[in-house]
Amino acid sequence: MVGGGVIQQILRRKLHSQSLATPVLSWFASKKVNEDAGSSGVRALALLGAGVTGLFSFSTVASADEAEHGLACPDYPWPHDGILSSYDHASIRRGHQVYQQVCASCHSMSLISYRDLVGVAYTEEEAKAMAAEIEVVDGPNDEGEMFTRPGKLSDRLPQPYANESAARFANGGAYPPDLSLITKARHNGQNYVFALLTGYRDPPAGISIREGLHYNPYFPGGAIAMPKMLNDEAVEYEDGVPATEAQMGKDVVSFLSWAAEPEMEERKLMGFKWIFLLSLALLQAAYYRRLKWSVLKSRKLVLDVVN
């Protein structure tokens, strides 16, 4: 309160005086005279000044973060977006084909088994046949030796590299991440992965990317180790759908979304059912509470004053 009054005095003096020197002098004089009372006002002014300069410096730093965070990806209208919308299972099947033919040479999906695909993208026979194409190390046998056998439904999808070090060594130091949970592991995962896969463009003027890396505006920092993998007609779909870059991107993201959230359809059904039922229960509970409390809420208290 007192500090505010001092500031008002200072301002009035600044407005009324003619030269630059007098307001400064009078300000110092007033500062000395009202030292105890005025110090809080001066402190407030100093804090305000510090805050403003801080804000200015912060804004110049923020503008350098653009490429660091990557270009924000737009929200695409996924068919499985609605409150009661299921996955497009034909798309999941095509997406698995894209994964197998384009991505599996570098990216593992070690949390998905062949049996998970049954009833989602393939029939049991198809999945068994696919599993049988791979060789799996099993054992030890009765002689204590490890042996290889054809895959079964219970086996996980095969890994391209034995471990992370091998993966890094084969990819110039960069580790192609496991894709089992990638759409949940990245902010706005589904849209991000689609934008990334279909977003390889020429870098802006003034940006040069070193040998071995590629420019992608959506990737944080802009320089990604993965080259553009989705090109028109890279895959020939079993169902005859034309395999454009956007089509393959959409299908592979549907597949990855399913892989990360296989329970989505059941979850939506359960959620819809229980939210509906609990809303009814809420109405019932509210009515019952008000019914029981009405006795107390409608009572009248009489203060009997002794005369």
Partner 1 sequence: MAEEEVVDPKKYLEESCKPKCVKPLLEYQACVKRIQGDDSGHKHCTGQYFDYWSCIDKCVSSFDFPFSVHFVIFLYVMILR
- Lookup: tokens for 248: 């393959």
Question: Which residue in 132, 213, 225, 241 binds partner 1 (CB under 8 A)?
Answer: 241
Residue 236 CB, shortest distance to partner 1, in Å, is 12
Nearer to partner 1, 122 or 215 (CB): 215
Confirm or reject binding of residue 213 to partner 1 (CB under 8 A). no
In sequence order, the 6+-apart residues with CB closer than 8 A to the CB of 111 are 156, 178, 180, 181, 259
- Cα–Cα distance for residue pair 152/290, rounded to 1 Å: 61
End-to-end CA distance of the chain: 49
Count of all residues that appear for the chain in the document: 307
Question: Which residue in 87, 247, 255, 260 binds partner 1 (CB under 8 A)?
Answer: 247
Residue 148's DSSP bridge partners are 137
The residue count for binding partner 1 (CB under 8 A) is 35
Residue 264 CB, shortest distance to partner 1, in Å, is 17
Contact (Cβ atoms closer than 8 angstroms) between residue 139 and residue 148: no
Nearer to partner 1, 167 or 197 (CB): 197
Binding mask 162-201 for partner 1 (x = CB under 8 A): ---------------------------------x--x--x
Confirm or reject binding of residue 10 to partner 1 (CB under 8 A). no
Q: At what angle do helices 89-98 and 245-260 cross, to 10 degrees?
A: 100
Question: What Å distances lie between residue 199 and 177, 185, 245, 305, CA to CA?
Answer: 19, 19, 10, 83
Phi-psi region of 113 (alpha: psi -120 to 50; beta: other; left: phi over 0): beta
Q: Which stretch binds partner 1 (CB under 8 A): 38-46, 105-113, 118-126, 236-244?
A: 236-244
Question: Which residue in 93, 107, 156, 250 binds partner 1 (CB under 8 A)?
Answer: 250
Question: Which residue in 102, 183, 249, 260 binds partner 1 (CB under 8 A)?
Answer: 249
Nearer to partner 1, 6 or 248 (CB): 248
Written as one string, the DSSP assignment of 40-69 is HHHHHHHHHHHHHHHHHHHHHHHGGGHHHH
State yes or no: 73 annotated in a binding site: no
Confirm or reject binding of residue 264 to partner 1 (CB under 8 A). no
Confirm or reject binding of residue 223 to partner 1 (CB under 8 A). no
- Lookup: tokens for 104: 């599996």
In angstroms, what is the C-alpha Rg of the chain? 34
Binding mask 55-94 for partner 1 (x = CB under 8 A): --------x--xx---xxxxxxxxx--------x--x---
Question: Which residue in 83, 206, 238, 291 binds partner 1 (CB under 8 A)?
Answer: 206
State yes or no: 107 annotated in a binding site: yes
Q: Which of 252, 122, 90, 256 is nearest to 185 (CA)?
A: 256
Extract the annotated binding site: 103, 106-107, 226
The footprint of partner 1 (CB under 8 A) covers 63, 66-67, 71-79, 88, 91, 195, 198, 201, 204-208, 217, 222, 232-233, 241-247, 249-250
Extract the annotated binding site for heme c: 103, 106-107, 226
